[in-house]
Copies of this chain bind each other. A is one copy, B any other.
Amino acid sequence: MQTYQYPKSQALFQRAVQVIPCGIYGHFSPAPLIPATDYPFYTEKAKGARFWDVDGNEFVDYMCAYGPMVLGYNHPQVDAAAAAQVAAGNCFTGASPLMVELAECLVDMISGMDWAFFAKNGGDVTNYAVMAARDATCRKKIVMIKGGYHGVAPWMQAPGHHGLLDDDWRNIIRIDWNDAAAFERVIQEHPKDIAAFIATPYHVPAFSDSVMPAEGYWKKIETLCRENGIILISDDIRHGFRLDLKGSHHHFGFQPDLVCFCKAIANGYPISALMGTAAMKPMVSRIFYTGSYWFQSQPMAAALTTLQELKAVDGPEKMRVIGEKLGNGLVSAAARHGFDLRITGAPAMPYLRITDDESLMLHQDWCAECTKRGAYFTPHHNWFVSTAHTDEDIEKTLAIADEAFQVVRKKYNRL
């Protein structure tokens, strides 16, 4: 196969570094992890599970905009609903009736949740959840998981990042994932001062394997929360609507007080949601929390159609099947070339790692070689699949992966 070149992407990046910090930010920063020689930085258009960069190269996308794309790029029904709403109006002084319809739709769908509140970022609602838990309990401390990610507000970030103060973690306690005993100890050490426990439904740290909840873990956490008056927050921003349309807490059999959604909720239109139990409603109601665009109606129209479509096609089951086909194929391809490729997490959002590669360089190289042939793979973050990934996409991907394994096998003398 011919490998892609990115002259236009690189030229744009050179313009970008003049006028944008880092040139490009977020998951693309620090840039060395995703080098501009191997990866396209700028996207021209997209359709289904594929996108085309500014150099005209075509990719099967396994990052799905880092989660938001769940039904395929430019999904006709979602985009039509969004466009129809914009034709009426988009961001009004008041709310649109769609806000009520969307809240009703979510309350109907999500297990055990009685209300919904809408914002823009995932971090808007994880932050709101924490404020609500503090207000509900009159306590300060928040227990979270080491390596857990809930957004970029200072308290959410891990020590070591820039722009943060020690004061930001004054009330944050981090424990290991799957360690219910650690949670018990923390409760004993801070009697009646733990406001909330917040975690993702299963653990998705960057740079290491995803870890499912141990048998009985969530039930134990739930019990400890109930017994000690602690608010249980499920951060379902990344997992939500990919594992279970009733919420990932339903999938894993626990009952949170608050659940955070974002990403897949509207197939790329910007909206997040905090949902909660009836008992939490008075507490969140008295908190002042708002944003300039939070009544914007276009993403609400998109969300209603996205949720409807996910139900209609049984999105989670479809993504499980596709994800398994992809994973099995990649593991086989790796094995044919003498590599042990380990896949963790749910098939709909797999984390991949070549185990016989301590430096991570071989795995990075393999991802880059795949990307340069049209299968967009990033090395140290979980991937996402969508309902739009077809058998043809998977076959193309597996052929690319096979060739890429051959390339790294030669490069690393694993012949």
A residues bordering B, Cβ < 8 Å? 12, 15-16, 18-22, 24-29, 39-47, 51, 53-54, 61, 63-69, 73-74, 79, 82-83, 86-97, 99-100, 103-104, 107, 114-117, 120-124, 127-128, 131-132, 134-135, 140, 151-154, 157, 161-165, 167, 170-171, 237, 262-263, 268-270, 272, 281, 283-296, 376
Complex CA distance for A42 and B27, rounded to whole angstroms: 38
Q: Is the CB–CB distance between A24 and B83 below 8 Å?
A: no
Q: Is the CB–CB distance between B284 and A93 below 8 Å?
A: no
Q: Is the CB–CB distance between A117 and B42 below 8 Å?
A: no
Complex CA distance for A382 and B385, rounded to whole angstroms: 46
Q: Is the CB–CB distance between B93 and A63 below 8 Å?
A: yes
Contact of A291 (CB < 8 Å), options: B152, B154, B165: B152
A132 to chain B, nearest CB (A): 6
The 9 A-B pairs at the shortest CB distance, nearest first, are namely A26-B290, A131-B163, A91-B268, A46-B89, A270-B293, A43-B92, A19-B103, A163-B287, A45-B88
| 17 extra A-B contacts, CB within 8 A, seeds A83-B86, A91-B269, A163-B286 | A16-B99, A19-B104, A19-B115, A42-B100, A43-B93, A43-B94, A65-B92, A65-B292, A68-B293, A69-B93, A82-B86, A131-B154, A140-B167, A152-B288, A152-B289, A162-B288, A167-B171
**Which residues of the other chain, B, contact A122 by a CB distance below 8 angstroms?**
291-292
Beyond A12-B100, A28-B94, A292-B66, whether A120 also contacts B270 by CB under 8 A is yes
A403 to chain B, nearest CB (A): 22
Question: 19 interchain pairs (CB within 8 A)?
Answer: A12-B97, A19-B104, A20-B116, A20-B117, A21-B281, A24-B94, A25-B290, A27-B290, A28-B95, A41-B95, A44-B96, A51-B94, A65-B295, A66-B292, A82-B86, A83-B86, A122-B291, A134-B165, A237-B292
Residue of B whose beta carbon sits closest to that of A124: B121
A379 to chain B, nearest CB (A): 14
Residue of B whose beta carbon sits closest to that of A135: B163
Copies per complex of this chain: 2
Complex CA distance for A122 and B290, rounded to whole angstroms: 11
A203 to chain B, nearest CB (A): 19
**Which residues of the other chain, B, contact A18 by a CB distance below 8 angstroms?**
115
**Which residues of the other chain, B, contact A92 by a CB distance below 8 angstroms?**
43, 46, 51, 65, 73
Complex CA distance for A214 and B387, rounded to whole angstroms: 59
Beyond A19-B116, A100-B20, A120-B293, whether A167 also contacts B170 by CB under 8 A is yes
Residue of B whose beta carbon sits closest to that of A100: B16
**Which residues of the other chain, B, contact A134 by a CB distance below 8 angstroms?**
163-165
Contact of A20 (CB < 8 Å), options: B61, B64, B103, B162: B103
A324 to chain B, nearest CB (A): 22
Beyond A97-B12, A288-B152, A292-B122, whether A135 also contacts B117 by CB under 8 A is no
Contact of A15 (CB < 8 Å), options: B64, B100, B123: B100
Q: Is the CB–CB distance between B284 and A90 below 8 Å?
A: no
Q: Is the CB–CB distance between B91 and A44 below 8 Å?
A: no
**Which residues of the other chain, B, contact A288 by a CB distance below 8 angstroms?**
29, 152, 157, 161-162
Q: Is the CB–CB distance between A121 and B43 below 8 Å?
A: no
